[in-house]
Amino acid sequence: MAVKQNDHKTVLLLSPHRLLGDYQQVLESLHIIKYEGSKVEYIPCKTDAAEVKEYYPHLSKPAKEALPGFTREGIKELKEQLKERYNKLKPESDFDTFYQHAAVRRLQELFEPLKAQAAQVKWYHKVEMENGNFKTSPCNFSGLRPMLQFEVSRSEEGELQLNCSVFVSGGAHPLSEYKRSRFLLEREGEYYLLTHTDYTTLQWLEQKPERLYNKTPQAFAQHILAKLEGEYTVRRNNLFAGDEVKVVPQNRIVLSEIHPSYLVITPQWLYDEFSVEGAFKETMEVSRDGKVFQVVRDRAQEEAFLQLLESLHESFPNQKNGYYHITFDEARKKQWFLKVYHRLLELDVQVVGMDMLQHFRYSTFKVATTATIVKEEANAVTLQMSVSFGKEEISLVELQKQLFIRQHMVLLKDTSLGVLDDEWLQRYSTLLRHGKVAKNMVTVSRWLAFCEQQATEDTQVLKQVIPKPWWEKWELWQKDDGLIYDVPAGLKATLRPYQQKGYEWLSLLAEAGAGACLADDMGLGKTLQTITFLAQQSHLQEKAVHLIVCPSSLLFNWQQELNKFAPHLKTLVHYGNSRNTPLVMKKQHQVVITSYGTLRADIEELSTMSFAVVALDESHHIKNPSAQITRAVSRLQASFGIALSGTPVMNNTFDLYAQMNFLLPGMFGNREFFKREYADAIDRNQDEVKIKALHKLTSPFILRRTKQQVASDLPPKTEMVMWCNMEPAQKALYDEIKESIKSSVFMDIAKDGLGKSTLALLQGMLRLRQLCNSPLLLPENDRKNCTESVKTDLLMEELSNNLKDHKVLVFSQFASMLRLLADGCKERGLAYYHFDGSTPPAQRAEMANAFQEPGNKVNIFLISLKAGNAGLNLTAADYVFLFDPWWNTAVQQQAIDRAHRIGQTKNVFAYKMICKDTIEERIIQLQQQKHALAGALVTEEEGDSFVKSLTEEDVAYLFS
């Protein structure tokens, strides 16, 4: 029987049910042959190298390399590799359990490059029918990344329930509508690839851990939601303390006066940071920064405190005004107030308002203080300290409590008030607030000595813990001239003056035993300054091993830079399935380079090593103190730590805590102290005093220089908006979808409030931003046959006609948009490079190097904004297009700085492509109005932070 012409096609056949079994032949090559008549023959073949070469030559190199891994031979080889690894690691689990977890992860990794090429091949799947037979039919494999979202509800029986939805391309559907085969989700013949994190999360939730806590909201939030909220959006729906403030209150009294005769004592209760007073109500609604909180008051605790206060004086039980008053004379009689004051402090009651009293008598004595160093340890100093007014010595514990609540008065035995003047506060308050107090001893971080660098000799307390010769070098470094440290021998680079200063600064802090955060602008050479320092340290300690931890996309960039500038240093990239942990342990390499993910996985072994220097690139990866990677980093043994980040503060001041705690362990106390003392005051109240205090503490250890300050020789950078006016069909579709989303969003806001509608708002904004890029980013049913994209047309016209002789970077946050642009380049015969988050690090480095090569004819680089806005040196380019606006301009600036950095010799032109009269235009206008923090802190807001800063008027403006 003859075969019809062109009726032989080859597709990839997916058998997802095999993921639940032995993993054999999960993916095959299927030949479909149609003969004359109606006969169709299906011939499955293994995806070995020969099959791939003949039938899939158009796929990318990573995709072609992945396909043989699905053959029986590939699975067998994987099993042998895992058996060998199992025998080396000797984990507690049996091999079958170990193999199940490791094999699933490996198969998920093999699918990643195929997902990126999903549109380049035809897909079929074999699925089991109800009668037990299997059916082979066409399917689709989506290149979009599904996102898991969670919502808590309450059943009719009153039990808490956790519901999971899958968000893809602007729409969300319950997980129950998908068929899941381990890391694959399928709905209506469309397959989606989960990340390994998402897969392990769903595996955990399949065990129904919530049923253990579904009757106890607090335990449910602690054991279930806390694990999810670090990675996912979780809607609590006012069922937990996220919107409800339900805590044990802190008792407080506020002192005030009625004219010159009466002392007034007003009871208050602090529920977290919310202050409550007056007659009892079950709840109190508080609005802060546009978000509404329901403070649930504790009747028993409040009444117990009132009973305590009424027991303090016989006249108090008869006073029913919500406060208590007593004459000054009565308060002084038999030292009544003095005794009450100390008793309240002993009961941990805050006493505030003494500094506002005008008629209560002040002490005539000035505060006198002695502080003597009695013990020095590695990172801590213990002082014997005495604070007195006249002959009366003040309890350091009570003094510390007053300083915590920013009270600068202490009550003396004669009922007068001792004043802690500005000079005393400047000299001692930081020591006491940051110290651990035990009787007359205060133990503090030795690094607080750096805060005294501007102090005069008679006001210095800790400065002597660092040798005088070091201070002399430190003072010399503050000046513009004078060389302190020579560049190490073997370095193949000439440092710019500011880079020399940065290298010397690192060397000085290392000599003093402190850590350092190098926060220079993108493109000023943080990598080169660090390499220079590592070369110096290797010269001083020949057998030392240094560790560099960075995002996986920068691994090979670091290795290349080390090989280029310090070829005498032996380097090792510790990454990937073939990594050799025992080789690292042998200490045969001077510099080990690894990723954050690998460090987290291998921390048990790496934490046993002693590193001379640990450098964290893009150190904001550890901004969350409770994240696994932060905990892993804290276990590393390092003599000196470096944090490298152009934006160490990304969302709020608290981001700084974990990074500084890595560099200077213990200096900033525990996380609760830092949050209360600095982060909340700065982020919520823009407290200038706290901003200055934190800047004083951190400035010796954070070095930040901008291009305007130190790189005036860089060629000009011109930034402008390229306005894009939609054609009628795209504009009509945009307006229709905008009105639908607007109606839905404002219904949510009216029902639940703006604070609880963040997710719906983000999803609506995402759809509109995708539509501004191209209707093809939307689901087919939502496009209404509209395929026009004004941005794509304008960009392709520029690339084809005006920029043929220029090298161009094109950034988008949507990987699917980059693929559309890649298709557009192919149609016009334009050569390009392209990478996004799914591109392996080695391949990214390979493309970046090729793009930089003189004479290279590939002039276009399509780059994911998230994957490529840091670490890359692409100075061959002189034009940058930001295809879609990001939430905060800091991320966009980092992208532009891939081209505008040291080494650039041409003028750089950067264009933000913005659709006129759309949400994009509204976003960039709001960006100019909203600033998260004072200029003392460099920030880079994420999307949810941007949305949370919006008012209802802002939302109305966005959708206008």
pLDDT tens profile 205-256: 988 888 878 877 767 877 788 788 667 888 877 676 556 788 899 999 999 8
Above 90 in pLDDT, residue 745?
A: no
What is the residue extent of each domain of the chain?
A: 1-140, 142-239, 250-335, 367-449, 468-669, 717-958
Beta-bridged to residue 833, according to DSSP, are 861
Above 70 in pLDDT, residue 181?
A: yes
- The percent of residues above 70 in pLDDT, for the chain, comes to 92
Distance of CA 884 to the CA centre of its chain: 21
Q: How far is it, in rounded angstroms, from Cα 409 to Cα 362?
A: 9
Which DSSP string corresponds to 229-280? HTTSEEE-TTSSTTTEE--PPEEEEEEEEETTTEEEEEEEEEETTEEE-SS-
Per-residue pLDDT band for 936 (boundaries 50, 70, 90) equals: very low
Closest-CA residue to 226 (of 236, 211, 212):
236
Q: Which CATH number fits domain 717-958: 3.40.50.300, 3.40.190.150, 3.30.200.20, 3.40.1350.10?
A: 3.40.50.300
pLDDT of 51: 93
pLDDT of 466: 85
Tell me if 899 sits within 8 A of 834, measured CB to CB: no
Per-residue pLDDT band for 650 (boundaries 50, 70, 90) equals: low
Tell me if 762 sits within 8 A of 947, measured CB to CB: yes
Cβ–Cβ contacts within 10 Å for residue 288, how many?
11
Cβ–Cβ contacts within 10 Å for residue 934, how many?
15
The angle at the Cα of 193, spanning 191 to 195, to the nearest 5 degrees, equals: 160
Element (H, E) at 66: helix 61-66
pLDDT of 947: 64
Residue 677, C-beta contacts closer than 8 angstroms, at least 6 positions apart = 404, 433, 669, 690
Burial class (CB in 10 A: 0-12, 13-18, 19+), 496: middle
Tell me if 675 sits within 8 A of 694, measured CB to CB: no
Closest-CA residue to 667 (of 636, 639, 696, 709):
696
Mean pLDDT of 671-680: 84
Q: How far is it, in rounded angstroms, from Cα 859 to Cα 856?
A: 8
- Phi and psi at residue 935, in whole multiples of 5°? -65, -10
Give the number of residues written for the chain: 960
Which DSSP string corresponds to 208-234? -GGGGTTT-HHHHIIIIIHHHHTTSEE
Which DSSP string corresponds to 344-378? HHHTT-EEE-GGG-SSSPBPSSPEEEEEEEEEE-S
Superfamily holding 468-669: Tandem AAA-ATPase domain (3.40.50.10810)
Per-residue pLDDT band for 931 (boundaries 50, 70, 90) equals: very low
pLDDT of 455: 52
Residue with the two structure tokens 């966005």: 958
Above 60 in pLDDT, residue 945?
A: no
pLDDT of 937: 40
Above 80 in pLDDT, residue 892?
A: no
Q: How far is it, in rounded angstroms, from Cα 903 to Cα 850?
A: 16
Q: How far is it, in rounded angstroms, from Cα 633 to Cα 600?
A: 8
pLDDT of 763: 84
| Helices and strands in the chain, H and E counts | 37, 40
Can 468-669 and 717-958 be said to share one CATH topology? yes
pLDDT of 172: 87
Above 50 in pLDDT, residue 941?
A: no
Q: How far is it, in rounded angstroms, from Cα 807 to Cα 881?
A: 11
Mean pLDDT of 440-452: 85
Q: How far is it, in rounded angstroms, from Cα 637 to Cα 614?
A: 8
Q: How far is it, in rounded angstroms, from Cα 821 to Cα 433?
A: 56
Residue 555 vs residue 930, higher pLDDT: 555
pLDDT of 929: 59
Residue with the two structure tokens 């006016």: 725
Tell me if 507 sits within 8 A of 516, measured CB to CB: no
- Residue type present at position 885: P
Q: How far is it, in rounded angstroms, from Cα 115 to Cα 441?
A: 62
Specify the range with the lowest mean pLDDT, choosing from 134-148, 531-545, 940-954.
Answer: 940-954
Which of 327-341, 461-475, 506-520 is the most confident on average?
Answer: 506-520
pLDDT of 528: 93
CA separation, residue 812 to residues 48, 439, 565, 761, 864 (Å):
35, 59, 32, 21, 5
Which of 271-275, 503-507, 914-918 is the most confident on average?
Answer: 503-507
List, for residues 360-386, the tens digit of each pLDDT value.
666 767 889 998 888 888 788 899 999
Q: Is the dihedral of CA 773, 776, 782, 784 positive or negative?
A: positive
Q: CA-based Rg of the chain, rounded to a whole angstrom?
A: 32
Residue 605 vs residue 676, higher pLDDT: 605
Start-to-end CA distance of the chain, whole Å, equals 65
- Phi and psi at residue 926, in whole multiples of 5°? -70, -35
List, for residues 71-108, the tens digit of each pLDDT value.
989 988 888 888 888 888 777 778 888 888 888 889 99
Closest-CA residue to 30 (of 105, 137, 112):
137
User: What's the chain's average pLDDT?
Assistant: 84
Residue with the two structure tokens 């074999």: 126
Beta-bridged to residue 165, according to DSSP, are 149, 174
Tell me if 904 sits within 8 A of 714, measured CB to CB: yes
Threshold 0.95, pTM exceeds:
no
Closest-CA residue to 504 (of 524, 463, 527, 476):
476
Above 80 in pLDDT, residue 752?
A: no
Q: Is the dihedral of CA 536, 538, 541, 546 positive or negative?
A: positive
Tell me if 152 sits within 8 A of 29, measured CB to CB: no
Longest dimension (CA), the chain: 117
Residue 872 vs residue 4, higher pLDDT: 872
Residue 570 vs residue 40, higher pLDDT: 570
Structure tokens, 466: 């660092």
- Residue type present at position 331: A
Cβ–Cβ contacts within 10 Å for residue 924, how many?
15
Q: How far is it, in rounded angstroms, from Cα 186 to Cα 177?
A: 9
Residue with the two structure tokens 């607007």: 742
Q: Is the dihedral of CA 189, 193, 198, 200 positive or negative?
A: positive
Cβ–Cβ contacts within 10 Å for residue 390, how many?
16
